Chains A and B, each alone.
Chain A
């Protein structure tokens, strides 16, 4: 039953993996610099790590926007957001999971009569603007730096390309980690108030209730990456502006930096210690940030390179996504409550624990399921990696053999 309620969140996670992983590795895979298999493997592992290790910060902010105090409500609005993302993706419209879930939470607030925390909302909305702007600034600065280094060092093109390739893999891993850390809140954030699972002690580290949910969400994202992101990755290179491999690396790095900044509580406290205002821990749309980065490079190279039609579509998506998701959530909640009689939440202070209805109190059984799940994932990961390297090695050996035969026949 628990998993059934979580299904909508997992569906949203799957959509996020299918969609947003292409922001991280799309340019690298689209330009054939990194194979899809490598990208999918690295992104899957990094996204799970990011979600479990650093996912809490952005989730807290989303909780403040609207603490969904019933499992039925969390299910419905995650479903509304997931359907919005899925349908818009199907129609090739640019979409942000962050905006979809924010829209859905506001829809829930309206439906249940809860006040939307305008302070938190404005904090989130401001990052929708500052995120892409910051991404553009980072992208331009990094791009200038790389081009200068390339010119001065007179490095061989192949060596430069080899460094860029390694850079794409490293920044891609960092990007996937940041994506997991920042965007897991979109996937599992709404379920946190409704779940209270036993902490799993794994001797070297522990997994609390939220982290177990993040692990599950991270897995859903990884499945989305592996099963559905290839098509998006293959086509992303053709969007907005055509990127060179170094441009692609800069874009991914800038995007990862922005996502990391908005999900690193350590960096935020460092800011506070330095007498600066704290960085808001907010889920940022990776799609929007990447658009900002790409536009930054496009403007630096000359505005001629920018495809303004696609930009227009993106702008429409920015406005329509939260609206559609919010409306869908509102009406879905209405049907869930009145047609199926499911408790979707009620008016109450998010801080008041008494108001949290239908909270799932897990016994040892659920924690055991998570434990087994974790062991299976690690085992499957090891087997998949070993098989991958084995196939690569065999392919290489076959090729060398055929080359040898060719030259022997030529003699």
Chain B
């Protein structure tokens, strides 16, 4: 019996740590974009290292959670769902890290007129991911409130979509000093940022289904 209790405690701590990392990773992602747009490359690189560390830790935790759930046969009926959800949430921080890494590699020239819009898009997209975390935490304690918590994820995802379309329009229509390759590069960046909210929405859809399963 002690084995069960110890494993359960460890698992609860690991899941909480995992969500903390995702939360923190998205916060650092937003800060990294802010530092880049303000041309504070020292801060940007610091944030890049932090996101990398958090992503690695999240990967490790994800694997440990999956292993523990399988080896100790925890929640056998919902295990696949939980492991899949953790995997989907991990993809969010993977996308954030990949976006910041590409930003570091490519260092695109972002016209000052678009800086606020880029920051806004990064913020909204990160918000969608951040709002997913409390909903996912709620799944483990109070599945009845998961769906109402997910409303914010859907809201931010829609906002991120709108901002991304608006931003792409401005890139191609309002910035004549950028050549086509520069515009393409920025569009690619926009798509990558927007991808975070899309991943959050996909995970939210799954979480919503999982919550319903727990309620019936």
Contact = CB atoms under 8 A, between A and B. Distances in A.
Nearest to A161: B75
Contacts of B144: 151
A205 interface: no
B60 A157 contact: no
6 contacts: A33-B73, A33-B76, A154-B141, A157-B75, A158-B75, A165-B4
Contact of B77 (A151, A162, A245, A407): A245
Interface in A150-199: 151, 154-159, 161-162, 165-166
A162 B214 CA distance: 16
B60 to A, nearest CB: 7
Size range of the chain B interface in the assembly:
20 to 34
Contacts of B7: 162
Interface of B: 1, 4-5, 7-8, 11-12, 15, 60, 67, 71, 73-78, 139-144, 214, 216
Contacts, number: 50
Dominant secondary structure of chain B at its interface with chain A: helix
B77 A154 contact: no
Contacts of B11: 158
Contact of B141 (A35, A157, A165): A157
A153 to B, nearest CB: 9
A403 B77 contact: no
A157 B77 contact: no
A237 to B, nearest CB: 10
B140 A157 contact: yes
Nearest to B144: A151
B1 A166 contact: yes
A35 B4 CA distance: 13
Contacts of A396: 71
B10 to A, nearest CB: 10
A227 interface: no
A156 B9 CA distance: 10
Contact of B60 (A156, A158, A245, A407): A407
Interface of A: 31-33, 35, 151, 154-159, 161-162, 165-166, 244-245, 301, 396, 399, 403, 407
Contacts of A162: 4-5, 7-8, 74
A399 B68 CA distance: 11
Contacts of A166: 1, 4
Contact of B73 (A32, A157, A244): A32
A184 to B, nearest CB: 29
Contacts of B142: 154
A161 to B, nearest CB: 5
A159 B7 CA distance: 10
B94 to A, nearest CB: 16
Contacts of B71: 396, 399
Given A245-B77, A407-B60, A156 B4 contact: no
A158 B74 contact: yes
A157 B15 CA distance: 12
A161 B60 contact: no
Contacts of B1: 166
A46 B75 CA distance: 26
In the A-B complex, the 5 residue pairs with the closest CB atoms: A32-B76, A162-B8, A157-B140, A162-B4, A158-B8
Most buried by B among A162, A165, A407: A162
Given A158-B75, A162-B8, 4 more contacts: A156-B140, A157-B141, A157-B214, A161-B74
A244 B77 contact: yes
A399 B70 CA distance: 12
A31 B76 contact: yes
Nearest to B71: A399
Contacts of A244: 77
A165 B2 CA distance: 12
Most buried by A among B5, B8, B71, B144: B8
A155 B141 contact: yes
Nearest to B79: A32
Contacts of B141: 154-157
A403 B1 CA distance: 24
Contacts of A407: 60
A171 to B, nearest CB: 14
B100 to A, nearest CB: 21
